[in-house]
Structure formats: C-alpha cells, structure tokens
A and B are shown apart, each in its own frame.
Chain A
C-alpha cells in the first residue's frame, strides 16, 4: 500500500514536469478569443430570449433564412434562402432554399427543417410569442421551397427571420438529444459547437464545409470575464483578442476608451447603435405635475443634451432627437428641428405658466445601478435644479426598476430601449402602443385610439415608401405628446487586438458574426 501510494505520488510529480500533450494544443494564431461579461443563458434557438451572449453564439453556430448584409446592415441578404418573394397582401412569404447544405451532424438541410425549426420556436418561446403567433401556416412546397403564411401583414417579419429565434436547427439532432439539445446544439453555421464549461468558456470550431467558405480561424473561444478591468488587462496582455460589447445597460467609461486609444496593440471599433436612453415620464398617470404637457415640455427644454454627450460620455454616444435613432431608415430628419432644445429660460416660462413655483416640486428620479447611470442622473438632476425642479436620485437594480415600471409607481425614470430586431416597429410598437403600456420597457402611453391605429397601420403596411411616410408622421405625433427627454444613444464600442482583421459590428441588434474574422 505505501509503495502504491508512493508510485501514485511519483506519477503526479512526473506529470508536473512532463511536456504538454501535443495533439491537444491548438495554434494560438488561428484561435480567436472573445471576452464576454457573462455566460450565455443558453444555446437553444427555440428558447432564446434575445439575451445578447447566447444570441451571438447561436448566430455563429446556426444560420437563418435571411440576414442583414454587412457592412451597413441596411438590406437583407439570403443565407439558407437564396431568394424569396412576398405576396401583394404582405401575408405570404415564399423562400427558395439553398441546395447541398448539410447540418454539422451530416444530415441534409431542407424545407422540412425550416418548418420544424420555426414551429418549434413558436411552441416553446414565450419571449417571441407576439411575433411567432402571427404565423398561421408553414407549408413545405418542395424540399427546396417553403411558404410561410401570416394571419395579418407584417413586413418586419423578415427582420424577425434574421434573429437567433429563427435559426434553423437539425431535426435529427433534436430527435437524438431531446431536451439536451441546448447543450448539444447542431446547426449549419460557420462554427461547430465543441465544448462549454459553465461560467468559463464556450468553444466553437471552424466548419470546414461551410457553404460560404470555411471561417478564417480554426477555433473561436468565448471567455466569460465578468470584471471590466480584468477584460482590459487581458486584452492589453494579449490573453484575449476581442472585448465584446458590454451588457446593454453597461457602458465603457470614457477614460478606459482614451487609455486604450493610446495603446498601439489595440484597435477600437465604434459604430452608432439603435439603442435609445431617455428620461421618461409615467405617461399613463393622469394626476401629478407631469400630467401637464407644459411641465413635460419644460423638462425637455431643461436638459443640456450636448453638454451631457461631452461631459459624461466624451463623445462615445450620439444625440437622439425622438422615438427613432438617426441611423434608422425610418428616421424623420424634421425631428431634429422639432425636438425641444436646451433652453432653461423657456423651461422656466413653461413651469410658471403651469403654476409650478421654483423649488416647490420635488420628485424621485429612478434609474439603474452603475457609475454611468449615476453620472447621467446627476447631470439631469443639476439641469432640473437650474429650472427649479428638485430631484432625488434613486438607483436600483434592473429587476426592481422593471417591477416599478410595470406597476406604474413612479413619475420620472431614466430608462433605455434596445430593439431586438432591426425594424422601426421594435421601437415604436413596444414603446408606444397603449395596449402594451403595463409591460416592460414601454413609455406607458395612455389609451389613444388614433395613435394606436396609426402604429398598427405602420406595422402592417406592405409598401416600404408608405411605411416610411407613416413612421415619419408617427415620430412627429409622438414627440408632440412629450413622452420624455430623449437623451442619448450609446455607440457600440468593441476593442480588438490590432492584428484582428475583418471584424464588422452589426448595429441592431449588436450580434457579431466571426465567419469573416482573421488574425494576422
């Protein structure tokens, strides 16, 4: 026994000195390491709730029928579909599918897989229910043609089909793995799922037979690093190649960006986003000071928008003027003029007209936790103090603020919206449709038949030109109701080692594809 124990100890000691197992060591030059702040909630397209990390991994392992075309992501291109037609009534979408594509498990991709995948998401995903419940029928016309029929016209449906919830899964793999498919995801995408360790990493390997050509790296490793300064040190040290966009409520401090700008080994990629951050009123409330349109407009005039961008963000955010960001195809340029400008004198006049004496109004301002939200809240607090409104800042956790919001128990809050699909519908319908007022992330608009009808009309109109005109008018109508002060739109900022090539950042939503990325 003592001898056996000694031998075991000797084996351990020897193995400490032994050379690495060569077969398992991948080439670091062909391995791309991406740092993300938290682990993916899951890699199951059917259950995806637009959680950013899991969504991105899904889009690198699976394909969708269509996708937004880089580098400007303004038009859709075919992926698993080669072409598609939409019926004149906007209800029927017919897709011609790519030939010769196989899933990572070797089974063939066909129309039946499309039907299977979309019906699966419809059945198992409460998050995407509102969109997927519009589907009345999915018909396999032939192995290469699939037709999706909606209950009512919905042009943004193509945009939904580009999202991870619409990724096409291998029916054979689902049958094989059952409820374990989430840990054994099988798609047709540029990368094949290899391994995952909870809170540590997700490892993908190049799909050598990918229909668009093999990826330029052999391996893609997502490393989960929750601490921002650790991520930065790892990047500076070369331990990681890319720092992904932080969570949608976080932002990178301006000093960090400046410090990394001075580092020759680091490249900074900045693109405008479609995220909107606002100081919002509880628009559904019929009593209290902010029920008066003049008081709401006064608040909108009290904010020094450019000062906020300069002072708090060091220009890492863009101006927002109304319900849509300036980079949206439906943005109405007239909104730039119509939006209330920084004018404390005008704000004071409006408050006086509404009978609000300076210093007589004290309200809590609710917002999220974090230094950045604290800084924005402090800035807003100072602006409002200048016109005689006292604000007490209440920073609270995300779930607590959501609860406060849905219960309507607040007057003023700093909040934000990030569309989960690329269409103005994502901002306008969820933000302002009165029937959704009590749900999360809305402006809590009161019932207004004319506005509701206009929102639904814009959502369902088939002609792009007509839709655009309808959204132009909607932006003016919504702004006229003074729903809140539209504060800023943070840029999407990604840090990469200088030797990383071919990285293109998608603006809405910010999900990156690594198929085209290489290391020099």
Chain B
C-alpha cells in the first residue's frame, strides 16, 4: 500500500515535467494560432487584439503559471478552434479510445501468448517457422497498409464488416456512457450492439497486430529459456503431465517479461491510435490531438498530452503491481 502511495506521489513531478516540456514545445513550433483563427484579410491590429485576448503575448513562464493554476481548478482551458472546454471535449472522445485500445490489448494477449507458447513448444518445427514469419510480418508491416488491406478484403470484397466509423451512420441515439457496445446493451438494442462490435473488429485488429506479434516473440523466447531450466526438468521427471508443466509451471515464469511488454506497448498503442483512428474515422482522442496540432490549438495539445502522459504512467504503475503479483521476489522488494 505504501508502495502504491509512493508511486502515486512520484507521478506528480513527472506529469509537471511533461506539461512544462509540452507547453514550451507547442510555443516553439512556428505558426501563430491567432493568424490561423482569423483567416484571410485580418489586419495586424486584429491579430494583436486576439493574441492579447488569448494571452499569447505574456511571457511563457507566466502563461505556464496561469495554466497550472487553472489546471489545479480542473480547468484545461478552451479549444481555440471550437471555443468548447477542452476537458469536456476530451471526455467526449476518451471512451472511444479506451474501448479501442483495451479491446485491442485483450485481443493481442489472447493471440500473442498462445502464439509464443505454441512456437516455443514446437521450436524450430515447421509450425514455429510459419508462425514466426507471421509475427515478423505483424511487427514490420505499417499500420496504414494493414488497415487498407483489411478494409479492402473484409469490408469491400467480402462485405462482412463495415469500412469505417464507430456505429451505423443511421444510428442517432445519444451516448450514455460513451462506450458504444455497452450503451447499445444498456438500451437493450441488440442490433446496435452487434453493429458496434462489428465496427470494432478491423481497427482493433490493426492496433492489436503489432502488440500480438511482439508479444508472441517475447513469450517464445522466454518460454524456451524457462523450458530448459532445472525445475521444469524435475517436474517432468516426476511424471507431471506435459500440459501442466508447460502451462502452469513454465508459463507463469515466462510471463514476467511479457507483462512488461504488454504494459509498455499498450501505452504506446495510444500513439498508434492516432493513425488507426484517422483511417477508420474513429472519434477518439488520438485523432483529436492530431487535428489540434495541425490547427495550433495549444490548450487541446496540452490537454491531450496530459491525458496521454497520465495513461502512460498509470499503466507502468499497474505493470509493477502485476509483477509483484506474479513474482514473490518482486513483492518482497516492494514491501
């Protein structure tokens, strides 16, 4: 418990540092949001007036202090493009990204771990070679290409799945929780829930491919290492069933590095979500951030970065805790 509290306290300076860096970076890239906002024909006087109104002329440290003070009140500022509060805009889009990344992580784990185990137990056999080739493709193929191929095959040619979007274009129901499948179930609308699930399949597959392939390779290697250890040989010599040895004794030990990979890569998935969300017209926070950078929408860039950083550090905290649960030695150190 004390460990968790300590880790949570350590998050504050990390987040402050991230914020400060982003704050300075967005102001260092060329492009004046006032010019972008005002459009053609705006005079220098109008631009100056707007810069003043947006408080862009204050020295950067002063702007930062004002921002942090507002942040302490839970105010992330207002979007320069839409004039809406950034926090509200982020909360509107966050469920879409969480739905996508969480499901993609689960899918990657469900595919990646068995893939690694199968490869390790049949090391250097034809199945191992084939699956390793598949995972090599999974690691190296760019997401946009994979997305396009999947869209072409499963949406265009076979017609099994929708090309893009999150729900049917004809659906009108306002979100309840923001999680499309869950909302449809709450409403008792089976067709809408099935539709929302169908919309999830392709973007999830694209997002999961990289993690599943990476995970498969890690699990294969650490399984091979574990399978060669003394305790495995002893267990086998005592006449324990092979399945039990592989899946209970060896896998539990081999999973330790995998947990780290899952934690770090699923946080990195947020980065991949920017591209996936754009291609699949998925209304998530990654796409929102990308648009904000293009529009020099400073408050939105800062707000989304803060959320990304928060997710990243929380994930690594969770990874540490899972490590503790899996490995008694770590647990002891944590205490």
Q: Given the complex of chains A and B, what is the CA–CA distance between A299 and B95 in angstroms?
A: 54
Q: Does B249 belong to the interface (CB within 8 Å)?
A: no
Q: Would you call B163 and A230 a contact (CB within 8 A)?
A: yes
Within 8 A of A (CB), among B7-39: 29-33, 35-39
The answer to whether the Cβ of B237 comes within 8 Å of any Cβ in the partner chain is no
Residues of chain B with a CB closer than 8 A to A21's CB: 187, 189, 191-192
* Complex CA distance for A78 and B110, rounded to whole angstroms: 64
Bound state CA distance, A239 and B199, in angstroms? 13
Q: Is B77 an interface residue, CB under 8 A from the partner? A: no
Does A439 lie within 8 Å of B43, measured CB to CB?
Answer: yes
> Does B296 count as interface, using CB distance less than 8 angstroms?
yes
A221–B170 Cα gap in the complex (Å)? 8
Which residues does chain A contribute within 8 Å of B228, judged by CB atoms? none
Closest to B291 in A: A38
- Interface of A, secondary structure class, is mixed
- For residue B120, CB closer than 8 A to chain A, the reply is no
Task: Check B169 for interface membership: any CB of A closer than 8 A.
Answer: yes
In the complex, residue of chain A having the shortest beta-carbon distance to the beta carbon of B282: A199
Q: Complex: how many Å from CA A402 to CA B37?
A: 11
A198 close to B42 (CB less than 8 A):
no
| A200 & B279 in contact (Cβ 8 Å cutoff) | no
Q: Are B283 and A400 in contact (CB under 8 A)?
A: no
- Residue A16 at the B interface, CB < 8 A? yes
Q: Contacts A195-B174, A225-B164, A234-B164: A402 and B36 contacting too (C-beta < 8 A)?
A: yes
Contact of B283 among A18, A130, A194, A200 (CB under 8 A): A200
From 181 to 221 in chain A, residues with beta carbon under 8 angstroms from any chain B beta carbon are 182, 194-195, 197-201, 203, 219, 221
Does B217 sit at the interface, judged by CB under 8 A? no
On whether the beta carbons of A224 and B170 are closer than 8 Å, the reply is no
Indicate the size class of the contact surface on chain A.
35 or more
Tell me if B194 counts as interface (CB < 8 A to partner A): yes
Query: Which residues 282-299 of B have a CB within 8 angstroms of A?
Result: 283-284, 287-288, 291, 294-296
- Asked if A240 and B188 sit within 8 Å, CB to CB, the answer is no
Q: Is the CB of A221 within 8 A of B42?
A: no
Q: Are B287 and A199 interface neighbours, CB within 8 A?
A: yes
Q: How far is the CA of A399 from the CA of B172 in the complex (A)?
A: 35
| A49 interface residue (CB < 8 Å to B) | yes
B38→A399 contact, CB < 8 A:
no
**Which of A24-32, A270-278, A305-313 sits within the interface?**
A24-32
Task: Please state if A403 and B82 are interface contacts (CB–CB under 8 Å).
Answer: no
The distance in angstroms between the C-alpha atoms of A455 and B171, with both chains bound, is 52
With contacts A198-B283, A230-B280 taken as known, whether A126 is within 8 angstroms of B41 at the C-beta atoms is: no
Cα separation A28 to B295 with both chains bound (whole Å): 35
Chain B residues positioned under 8 Å from A441 (CB to CB): 40-41
B35 and A19: CB pair below 8 A?
no
B residues within 8 Å of A by Cβ?
29-33, 35-44, 46-47, 49-50, 81-83, 89, 92-93, 148, 151-152, 155-156, 159, 162-167, 169-175, 184-185, 187-194, 278-281, 283-284, 287-288, 291, 294-296
Residues of A within 8 A of B152 (CB): 233
Residue of B nearest to A234 (CB): B163
A positions within 8 Å CB-CB of B:
11-12, 14-21, 24-26, 28, 31, 33, 38, 41-42, 47, 49-50, 126-127, 129-130, 182, 194-195, 197-201, 203, 219, 221, 223-227, 229-230, 233-234, 236-237, 239-240, 396-400, 402-404, 406, 417, 420, 429-430, 435-436, 438-442
Asked whether B83 lies within 8 Å of A47 as measured between CB atoms, the reply is: yes
B281 nearest CB across to chain A (Å): 4
Give the Cβ gap from A206 to chain B, nearest Cβ, in Å.
14
- Once A439-B43, A441-B41 are accepted as A-B contacts, the answer to whether A18 and B287 lie under 8 Å apart by CB is no
Tell me how many residue pairs across A and B have CB atoms closer than 8 Å.
Answer: 185
| CB-based contact B36/A399 at 8 Å | yes
Known: A18-B188, A19-B190, A237-B156. A223 touches B165 (CB 8 A): yes
Contacts of A14 in B (CB 8 A): 190
The answer to whether A440 and B35 touch (CB under 8 A), given A42-B82, A233-B152, A404-B30, is: yes
Residues of A within 8 A of B173 (CB): 24
| A227 and B41 alpha carbons, distance in the complex (Å) | 30
List the 3 closest pairs (A to B, CB-CB), nearest first. A399-B31, A20-B191, A18-B190
Cα-based distance from A383 to B314 in the complex (angstroms): 55
Find chain A residues with CB under 8 A from B164 CB: 225, 227, 230, 233-234, 239
Chain B residue with Cβ nearest A227: B279
Beta-carbon nearest neighbor of A435 in chain B: B43
B190 near A400 with CB under 8 A, answer no
Tell me the nearest residue of chain B to A226, going by C-beta.
Answer: B278
Q: CB distance B191 to A18 under 8 Å?
A: yes
Residues of A within 8 A of B295 (CB): 399
Q: Which residue of A lies closest to B159 (CB)?
A: A237
When chains A and B are docked, how far (Å) is the Cα of A227 from the Cα of B277?
Answer: 10
Of the candidates B42, B281, B291, the one whose C-beta lies within 8 Å of that of A127 is B42
Q: How far does the Cβ of A53 sit from chain B's closest Cβ, in whole Å? A: 12
Contacts of A129 in B (CB 8 A): 46
Residues of B within 8 A of A17 (CB): 190
* Chain A residues near B49 (CB-CB < 8 A): 126
A239 and B169 contact, CB distance less than 8 A = yes
A179 nearest CB neighbor, chain B only: B83
Asked if residues B169 and A223 are in contact (CB atoms below 8 Å), the reply is yes
A20 to B188, CA, bound (A): 9
Q: B44 contacts A230, CB within 8 Å?
A: no
Chain A contacts for B92, CB-based, 8 A: 198
- Chain A residues, Cβ within 8 Å of B81: 41
Contacts of B288 in A (CB 8 A): 199
**A229 to B163, alpha carbons, bound, how many Å?**
10
A226: chain B residues at CB < 8 Å are 278, 281, 287
A438 cross-chain contacts in B, Cβ below 8 A: 44
Closest-CB distance, B294 to chain A (whole angstroms) = 7
Q: Which residues of B contact A436 (CB under 8 A)?
A: 41, 43
Beta-carbon contact of A18 and B189 below 8 Å:
yes
Given contacts A15-B193, A240-B169, 15 further A-B contacts (CB under 8 A): A21-B187, A42-B82, A197-B283, A199-B283, A199-B284, A234-B163, A234-B164, A237-B156, A239-B169, A400-B30, A403-B30, A406-B32, A435-B43, A436-B43, A440-B42
